[in-house]
Amino acid sequence: MKPAAPETTQGEPATLGKLRIAVYYPWIYLTSGAERTLLEFARRSRHEVVIFTSRYEPEATFPGLRDLDVRVLDSVSVHRSPLQVALSGLRIFTRKIDLGGFDALLVVCEGLGDLVVLRNLGIPAFNLCLTPLRIVFDSVYRATYLAQRSAPQRLAIRAASFVFRWIDRMAWRRYRLVFPISAEVKRRIEAGGLAPARKLHVVHPGVDLADFVPSAGYERTFFVPGRIMWTKNLELAIEAFRRFRERAPEPETWRLHIAGIVDGKSEIYLERLRALAGGDSAIEFGVHPSDKEMRSFYRSCFATLFTAFNEDWGLVVIEAMASGKPCVAVDRGGPREIVRHGHDGLLAEPEPGAFAEAMLRLVTEPGLRARIVEAGLASAERFGWQPFVDTLDCMLEESLRNGTADRAHRRHREEAAA
């Protein structure tokens, strides 16, 4: 008698060859770490990846995404006012995606994207978590944000956060596995009651090490790379640089260079930074630099500063290491998992005096900078893109394979009981 074929359901193939994975990320319109992570997974995975998004601006993001299968759903706003966030969340929640023929749905999550799983059922869902919604689940972010709002606004945000937390927890029950990009993100997930530890597997994104050529030479410039927005706490870099110059040898020779993308909602923040700089010719701003320009800035700088007050991970810290440049980073969040203080970088409390002291150490302490550069080059090797993608591929395959086996085992038990 011919044996019965293994039972299969949509998204749970009997044999696991090349899978079809639907990836959802709400907005692709910047050259940030989120878009970079999405791009690298999609083009390096051994499986067929189709990207679904609710907003796509190909001219504003990484050119490599144009070579991938990106399918645009109805548009959502990128503005972050409470009303716009609520409207975007509602649109994502009500959106049905044609998932016929796909084996798995992978949500790349920065908060609102989770809502898409509440209506898109039928195939296994997974979460590559950059962070759960920060205003709700990141206590440092929430405290900083609320401190800038009026009492009625704070009350409204707390009420909306309570409702979102309840809805989001329902969405997270759909995930078979969750892949936080750092232990800091894992901590937010667990503290928020979103998923049990058994479902959480940390996978660290990396950088394309071949793109970064170490340079021993330098100009007397502290470089601050990354997106220019309020969560990066760039005021700290400006204030620390001023304090550094008060004690540095030949203070007039040092410069501060802040460079990164600026989207529409951050233009006012950039103007505030320019006002804080007060026309100081030693403080420069570079807006919308190309990847080539950013790599050149890395190669020519003396050291980098990373001032974000509670970063999810910190790709620019790894980029600095790979470029042969030391980094002074805030002693919070993701950088703690990358930098080993005094070995391959320096960690400092997020206040100008502490940062200035670390910057001064790099200039005046004999041998410190050279030791950090050498150790940093070795440390960067831990964080390549291919190991990150291979880990995701393997864990998706294993989960889908186990799901198929579990279903077959339950069916055999049911038939035996009958």
CB neighbours (10 Å) of residue 156?
Answer: 14
d(CA 337, CA 314): 9
330 is in which domain, residue-wise? 209-380
Query: Does one domain contain both 319 and 255?
Result: yes
Looking only at the bridges linking them, the beta strands covering 221-225 and 255-260 are: parallel
The answer to the question of residue 309 being in a domain is yes
Q: How many domains does the chain have?
A: 2
Query: Does one domain contain both 71 and 200?
Result: yes
CB-based burial of residue 323 (10 Å sphere; 0-12 exposed, 13-18 middle, 19+ buried)?
Answer: buried
d(CA 174, CA 181): 19
Q: What angle do CA 320, 321, 324 make, to 5 degrees?
A: 90
The answer to the question of residue 231 being in a domain is yes
No. of helices (H) and no. of strands (E), the chain: 14, 12
Query: Does one domain contain both 218 and 267?
Result: yes
Specify the DSSP element, H or E, that contains 17.
none
d(CA 337, CA 331): 10
Query: Does one domain contain both 396 and 321?
Result: no
Query: Does one domain contain both 214 and 185?
Result: no
Query: Does one domain contain both 325 and 277?
Result: yes
Query: Does one domain contain both 242 and 165?
Result: no
**DSSP designation for 5:** P
pLDDT of residue 16: 62
pLDDT of residue 414: 47
pLDDT of residue 417: 55
Query: Does one domain contain both 232 and 171?
Result: no
**Tens-level pLDDT at each residue, the chain (418 residues):** 333 333 333 444 444 679 999 999 999 999 999 999 999 999 999 999 999 999 999 999 999 999 999 999 988 887 777 778 888 888 899 989 999 999 999 999 999 999 999 999 999 999 999 999 999 999 999 999 999 999 999 999 999 999 999 999 999 999 999 999 999 999 999 999 999 999 999 999 999 999 999 999 999 999 999 999 999 999 999 999 999 999 999 999 999 999 999 988 899 999 999 999 999 999 999 999 999 999 999 999 999 999 999 999 999 999 999 999 999 999 999 999 999 999 999 999 999 999 999 999 999 999 999 999 999 999 999 999 999 999 999 999 999 998 754 444 445 454 555 5
pLDDT of residue 379: 96
Query: Does one domain contain both 60 and 87?
Result: yes
d(CA 344, CA 374): 8
What CA dihedral angle connects 170, 175, 177 and 181, to 10 degrees? Answer: -70
The answer to the question of residue 77 being in a domain is yes
pLDDT of residue 416: 52
The answer to the question of residue 282 being in a domain is yes
d(CA 393, CA 5): 25
The answer to the question of residue 10 being in a domain is no
The answer to the question of residue 13 being in a domain is no
Enumerate the β-bridge partners of residue 159: none
Query: Does one domain contain both 321 and 407?
Result: no
Query: Does one domain contain both 219 and 360?
Result: yes
Tokens standing for 267?
Answer: 């233009």
The answer to the question of residue 171 being in a domain is yes
Query: Does one domain contain both 157 and 180?
Result: yes
pLDDT of residue 169: 97
pLDDT of residue 413: 52
Tokens standing for 192?
Answer: 């928020």
- Whichever domain contains 144, its CATH number is 3.40.50.2000
The answer to the question of residue 216 being in a domain is yes
pTM > 0.95: no
Query: Per DSSP, which regions of 277-324 are E strands?
Result: 283-287, 303-306
Q: HSE on the CB side for 293, CA within 13 Å?
A: 12
